[in-house]
Amino acid sequence: MPPARSQIQPGLTVDLVQKQDQASGRLTRGVVAALLTRSPSHPHGIKVRLTSGQVGRVQAVISPTGGEHNPG
């Protein structure tokens, strides 16, 4: 299950899937600029905008050490 909204905040590095990559599951890594989903959780992941301007749904939060951080 993707991380909840409470686990995501601006400045975190995340892996997300963009709309055009949903079929392939291709992940994009970037730094969160803004959270776009208002609900506490979403079955496909919380939608965010990255600092690069890309938009997608978060699949995993990447810890500062570079490993995945996906509690729960």
Asked if 21 contacts 70 with a C-beta cutoff of 8 angstroms, the reply is: no
Cα Rg of the chain, angstroms: 11
Mean pLDDT across 32-53? 97
In this prediction, residue 70 carries a pLDDT of: 62
Give me the domains of the chain, ranges plus CATH numbers.
5-67 (2.30.30)
* pLDDT confidence bin for 67, thresholds 50/70/90: low
Q: How far apart are CA 64 and CA 13, in angstroms?
A: 8
Terminal Cα distance for the chain, rounded: 8
Q: Mean pLDDT for the chain?
A: 91
CA angle 25, 2, 24 (to 5 degrees): 5
